[in-house]
């Protein structure tokens, strides 16, 4: 470890669907967290660790800011965001550059940040030219003169290389928080449940993904393969019918898609069994939320 080793917590905040999860994957160079075009895909605070001989950056992907939580689930998500606000050494704020500055201002003021801020104007690939990007950047610089403002495209990896050098200037010297081979503080079975949930977002439409939770009932590592049993929780009987599909066609396809994604993640063979259970109003039930891992 070098004499000037830096370490710290860099937490990523923004509106739902601003591109936070895509950014974390780009910064780590790995597909660690699930992404989807649908909003509110991220429900937990997920840590991704970037290790180097000179630094350890502990990034956190956080749920998108919900200014008016509708369910207890939303309140739990915002509690995780609050904990990320409390331990941040640096805050990365993300804003979809195609959205009005007014949308961002409400979120920024709700966070009340007291640490150095790097504001990423994301999705620059959706704008026509550089002049448009520069115009947006100037608008934000006028409003937030003390922040570092970088136009990026997390999806296309444009401008991502400029983020880490800025972050490192603000990080304190210190010792690493995690072993140098760690990539996250979450166990493999957490990521398995997230990968199944990502396939639900991709396969099913409308409200179905928002009514589902995924529980890993069994995760057994055998000699040649990993046996996984998972239960998908839905809110209503009609949703269970949609999840399963005609003659089981949808749940079968979900199983195929999820197994492929999990095998890629664990780099091994997987046997996956999926079950569907109805738990009415689980998103507002304290006991269910605890059981499904939504703490605090």
Give the structural domain span for 217. Answer: 188-291
Q: Determine, yes or no, domain membership for 46.
A: yes
Which segments of the chain does DSSP mark as H helices, in order? 20-28, 72-87, 101-111, 130-143, 163-170, 188-203, 237-244, 249-266, 286-291
**pLDDT tens digits, one per residue of 65-98:** 888 888 898 999 888 888 888 899 999 999 999 9
Question: How much is the average pLDDT of 37-49?
Answer: 81
Residues 66 and 24 in one domain: yes
Q: Looking at the structure, do residues 16 and 131 belong to the same domain, yes or no?
A: yes
180 lies in some domain = no
Residue 187 and residue 221: Cα distance in Å, rounded? 14
State residue 10's pLDDT score.
Answer: 96
At 259-288, the pLDDT tens digits run 999 999 999 999 999 999 999 999 999 999
What pLDDT band is residue 244 in, cutting at 50, 70 and 90? very high
Tokens of 126: 């959706």
- pLDDT tens-digit map of 215-243: 999 999 998 999 999 999 999 999 999 99
User: Which of 127, 143, 170 marks a domain boundary?
Assistant: 170
User: Does position 2 have pLDDT exceeding 60, yes or no?
Assistant: no
Considering the domain architecture, whether residues 25 and 96 belong to the same structural domain is answered as yes
Whether the pLDDT of residue 1 is over 60: the answer is no
Residue 108 lies in a domain: yes
Classify residue 263: in a domain, yes or no: yes
Quick one: 74 and 156 in the same domain? Answer: yes
State mean pLDDT over 167-175: 95
**Same-domain pairing of 137 and 29:** yes
Residue 128 has which token pair?
């026509």
Using only the alpha carbons of the chain, give its radius of gyration: 20
Say yes or no to pLDDT of 31 above 80.
no
- Token pair, residue 191, equals 């990521």
Within this chain, do residues 194 and 149 fall inside the same structural domain, yes or no?
Answer: no
Indicate the pLDDT class of residue 3, thresholds 50, 70 and 90. low
Number of domains in the chain: 2
For residue 121, the tally of other CB atoms under 10 A from its CB is 25
Kindly state whether residues 54 and 102 are assigned to the same domain: yes
pLDDT value of residue 34? 72
What CATH number should be reported for the domain holding residue 265? 3.30.300.20
């Amino acid at each position: 470890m070098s004499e000037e080793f830096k370490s710290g917590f860099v937490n990523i905040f923004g509106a739902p669907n601003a591109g936070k999860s895509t950014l974390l994957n780009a910064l780590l160079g790995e597909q660690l967290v699930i992404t989807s075009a649908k909003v509110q895909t991220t429900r937990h605070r997920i840590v991704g660790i970037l290790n180097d001989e000179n630094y350890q950056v502990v990034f956190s992907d956080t749920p998108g800011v919900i200014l008016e939580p509708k369910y207890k689930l939303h309140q739990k998500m915002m509690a995780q965001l609050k904990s990320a606000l409390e331990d941040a050494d640096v805050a990365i704020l993300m804003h979809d550059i195609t959205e009005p500055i007014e949308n961002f201002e409400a979120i920024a003021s709700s966070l009340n940040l007291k640490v150095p801020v790097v504001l990423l104007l994301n999705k620059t690939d959706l704008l026509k030219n550089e002049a448009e990007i520069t115009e947006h950047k100037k608008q934000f610089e006028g409003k937030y003169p003390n922040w570092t403002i970088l136009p990026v495209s997390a999806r296309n990896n444009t401008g991502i290389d400029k983020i880490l050098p800025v972050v490192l200037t603000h990080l304190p010297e210190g010792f690493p928080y995690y072993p140098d081979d760690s990539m996250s503080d979450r166990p493999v079975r957490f990521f398995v449940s997230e990968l199944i949930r990502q396939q639900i977002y991709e396969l099913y439409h409308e409200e179905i993904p928002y009514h589902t939770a995924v529980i890993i009932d069994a995760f057994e590592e055998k000699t040649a393969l990993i046996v996984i049993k998972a239960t998908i929780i839905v809110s209503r009987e009609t949703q269970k019918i949609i999840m399963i599909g005609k003659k089981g066609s949808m749940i079968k396809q979900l199983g195929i898609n999820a197994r492929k994604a999990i095998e890629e993640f664990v780099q091994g063979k997987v046997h996956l069994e999926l079950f569907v259970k109805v738990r009415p109003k689980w998103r507002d039930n304290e006991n269910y939320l605890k059981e499904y891992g939504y703490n605090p």
